Structure 1
Amino acid sequence: MAARELRRMRAGNMTLRRGLFLAHRYAGLGIALFLMVAAVTGTLLTFRDRADAMLNPGLFRVSAGPVRPAPELVARVLADHPTWRVVRFALQPHSGEALRAVMVRTPDAAPDDVFIDPLDGGVVGTRSRQAGLDRAHAMQLMYDLHATLALGTAGRLFMGVAAVCWLALTVAGLVITLPRRRPLLAAWQPAWRLNRQMLARRPWPELHRVIGLWTIPFMIVMALTSVAMNFFDEAFAPVATFLSPPRAGSPFADDAPPPAIHAGPLLGYAAAEAIARTWAAHVHPDMLPIALTDDPARDLYGVSFTPGGTALYTGFGRITCHIDRHDGHIAWIDDPHLDGAGTLAIRALYPLHSGQVAGWPTMGCVLAIGIATGFMIVSGVLPWLRRQCRPARSDRRA
């Protein structure tokens, strides 16, 4: 009886393993093309700003020299173009690099990128923020392909389903490598090493297994964040805020009351930056301002800070000091550490997925994972295609 029961358990395990293997294979084949698009575009987007500057030196590069404060530069642009309206602009001008701002140039139009010479405030060039096949809009096209296949909401939801399949086949791939004998860890160790004999006979499956095992923690993080970002409004954000509600009183909440109407002149960008710097000097002395937003709908300026003024979204992202545009009082501090775990989870998504969470080392890691994902797709699809071609070759020979 014991032997029969043991054989029955082994047969059940083999059936489960076979089912997981088939699910891993056909889920991978089903999303291979879309996952390859995401891997290639994600790899290119890892260094998006640098790639954008290399493609468009006429917009990003200017003559070197002493730079002026960013609020002064933007004020000069608005003086020359009084109908333009600021959405946001960078606060860290650098010699030889154009200061980048987002502005609405015509009423009821979409915002455009405006590149400003930090020497004198002259406009170097402008471009729309839409995707396109030309060099100026190539990186935005890469982003749209990566996030939505350039198909809008329908494409985003489809990529969310593909991300769920990616997560499932990744977990299934891990399970089917587990050994049948005990002790588990000792018996599992050979699966993590390349077998030279198998590498000579079946190189693609051998490399597929070993590379997959060594990268699986990072693959799971990328898949989980992909699922959360693609279903952000539909599932992730509501669940996160329900389990851990943020602070009350935010002017950005859906149920926030409309702002009071103020009369009189605006405070100005330079004064708003000075107020925010004074606040940060007491609360976050290690941080520097990186960007300023102008929000007339809520009648607020927002000055964002990062450690050392880096443009990367390290940690849980930026901390923003929101200031009334008229009287200069601090209306709200957007700091994820002041809210619950739900806000921290929401703010961690983009830094984790982009690899910016710990700076250049983790960005390099995301770059490597993108390359590994592309290799996993190729090494999984090619052996299957060869097997499909074998019957046809046998028929031709006969």
Structure 2
Amino acid sequence: MRLRLTRRAFVLAHRWAGLAMALFLVLCGLTGSVLAYREALDAWLAPELHRTTPAKTGATLSDTLLDPFKLREMAEQSLSPPQARLDGVQFRVAPGHTVVLWASGPGLDYDEVFIDPHDGRVQGHRLSTAASLAPAQFVPFMFKLHHSLALPGSWGTLLLGVVSLVWTIDCFVGAGLTWPRGKPAWPKWRMAWGVKWRAGWQRANHDLHRAGGLWLWAVLLLFAWSSVMFNLRDEVYRPVMALAFDFDDSWEAVPPRAAPLDDPRLDWREAHQAAQRVMQAMAQRHHFTIDAEERLLLNRRRGVYIYMVHSSLDLRARIGNTAVMIDADTGEWRGQWLPTGGTPGNTVSNWLGALHMAHVGGWAWQAAVALVGVLVSALSMTGVVIWWKKAQARRRARAALAANRARQRARHDRTTASSASHTPR
């Protein structure tokens, strides 16, 4: 009896959690499918921002590129208003593509600047947080919907974080509910992995929901928990993962300044030289090789330069994620990020992020991520259909019970009236 009550509670929890999450999972699943091809789709929709004119015939790419520090300086000088600043230097440039740098400053109506790396010409700019379906804004808006529902402030991020946490827990609840109550359990559970297509559409829908959840269980858990990592990292993900893994927290150890740093003592070239020395020392300590420089960023709010390279520790082929932070005034080490080869917690987190964003596995995993987004939406909808049909059945049952009781009362009233009419007065 107790086991039956416990299962009933889990059924109700799964039902109402699924209904509460359905709209969010459909939205995030479909936008996630789009974002699996984020870079290519953005370049296709907004070629005026991303594509550059070909290099001169016979010249190599390196021959026609401007010095990255000179490029940043030229682009910054051409911005309006004059207070606008470009807080980055991009070292790696893809052939035929612009360089994208982040802009900051008072009164700006944009935060991304697209620059031709051959002549320093600003091809365009945009506000990455704008709510617009215009071609140049479509992909950034899809990301904003996917990560925070395009809501202002942190409310959307927190809400989707809670949804992700409920989704993570529901993965285990849903899997447990597929285990049969009768014996022999194992042969019966094997049937849960199949779909009875000829048993009518309602049974097929039910089987698709159950079997789809089982076959995709590990992938669903991966995306659910990695979503918690993105949206509730400090509140939930980090404390839970710290129970099993050690973390290097130096990357987040530098607190925000009382006021943003306007003029660091180290200029961009001096910061680059200091960061190179720190990175080389880190490479010797952790036994990795540096393949290519990626970028140098200035975080004015924390007063640090961030130097990123692609190394032998990186998971992503096209994105370097090995990084050091140095003090923007002194050049001293302030923190580091090792994609792999460091503490287990950081390595696991990097794997989760790379898998979630389809940055590993080549085109095959990229296509799989896009497909999973569609399947998550479909599984959510099959769950809603199951609830709707059962709710209709319950309403019909209640109506039939009420009608039966009404008939019984009517018969009772007629019998009572008949008996009263034959009673001697």
Report the equivalent of 1:162: 163
The answer as to whether partners of 2:304 and 2:326 remain within 8 angstroms in 1 is yes
2:23 to 33, 36, 39: 33
CA contact (8 A) 1:113 1:127 kept: yes
Aligned to 1:267: 269
Q: Which residue of 1 aligns with 2:212?
A: 211
Q: What secondary structure does 1:192 align onto?
A: coil
Q: Distance in 2 between matches of 1:79 and 1:305?
A: 27
**What is the aligned partner in structure 2 of residue 135 from structure 1?**
135
Q: CA RMSD in A?
A: 4.1
The residue correspondences of 1:31-70 to structure 2 (distance < 5 A) are 31-65=21-55, 66=61, 67-68=64-65, 69-70=67-68
Distance of aligned partners of 1:312 and 1:339 in 2 relative to their CA distance in 1, 3 Å threshold: closer
Identity of aligned residues (%): 26
CA contact 2:84–2:108 (8 Å) conserved in 1: no
SS at match of 1:132: coil
Tell me the amino acid that sits aligned with residue 294 of structure 1.
L
Given that 2:110 and 2:125 are in contact with CA atoms closer than 8 Å, whether structure 1 keeps it comes out as no
How big is each residue's C-alpha offset from its partner over 1:264-318, in whole Å with a ceiling of 9 and x where there is no partner? Answer: 8653577568657866886532532222212456664322123589894899x81
- Name structure 1 gaps, 5 residues minimum: 1-10
Shift of the alpha carbon at 1:110? 7.3
**Greater CA radius of gyration, 1 or 2?**
2
Q: Which residue of 1 aligns with 2:406?
A: none
Q: Deviation of residue 197 (structure 1)? A: 3.5
Q: How does 1:241-320 map to 2 (within 5 A)?
A: 252-254=253-255, 267=269, 271=273, 283-285=287-289, 287-296=291-300, 300-307=304-311, 312=316, 318-320=321-323
Compared CA separation, residues 148 and 362, structure 1 to 2 (3 A): same
Residue 269 of structure 2 aligns to a residue whose secondary structure is: coil
Q: Deviations over 1:40-74 (max 9, x none)?
A: 22222222222221221111112121341533422
Which of 305-314 and 369-378 deviates more?
305-314
SS in structure 1 opposite 2:53? Answer: coil
Native 8 Å contact 2:93 2:99 kept in 1: yes
Q: Which residue of 1 aligns with 2:324?
A: 321
Structure 2: 5+ residue stretches without partners: 56-60, 404-425
- The separation in 2 between residues aligned to 1:288 and 1:264, in whole angstroms, is 23
Opposite residue 294 of structure 2, the aligned amino acid is I
Equivalent in the alignment of 1:78: 76
- Shift of the 169–92 alpha-carbon distance from structure 1 to 2, 3 Å rule, reads same
2:115 paired residue number: 116
Q: 1:264 to 1:157 in 2, by over 3 A?
A: closer
Q: 1:207 to 1:341 in 2, by over 3 A?
A: same
- Indicate the SS of the match to 2:156: helix
CA contact 1:288–1:309 (8 Å) conserved in 2: no
Task: Give the alignment of 1:137-216 within 5 angstroms.
Answer: 137-151=137-151, 152-182=153-183, 184-198=185-199, 202-216=203-217
**Which 10-residue stretch deviates more, 133-142 or 217-226?**
133-142
TM-score, normalised on structure 1? 0.78
The CA distance in 2 between the partners of 1:322 and 1:19, in whole Å, is: 50
Change (3 A) 1:325 1:141: same
In 1: Cα distance, 2:183 partner to 2:240 partner: 40
Structure 1 window deviating more from structure 2 (349-358 vs 141-150): it is 349-358
**Counterpart Cα distance in 2 of 1:73 and 1:297:** 24
- Tell me the alpha carbon deviations over residues 326-384 of structure 1, each in whole angstroms, 9 at most, x when there is no partner: 77676654336576444445545533432435554443332222111111012121243
2:264 touches 2:329 (CA, 8 Å); kept in 1?
yes
Number of the residue aligned with 1:98: 98
CA distance in 2, matches of 1:238, 1:289: 33
Task: Specify whether residues 231 and 199 from structure 1 end up closer, same or farther in structure 2 by C-alpha distance, changes over 3 A only.
Answer: same
Give yes or no for contact 1:320–1:335 (8 Å, CA) kept in 2: yes
Give the match's secondary structure for 2:154: helix
* Alpha-carbon distance between aligned partners in 2 of 1:347 and 1:110, rounded to the nearest angstrom: 33
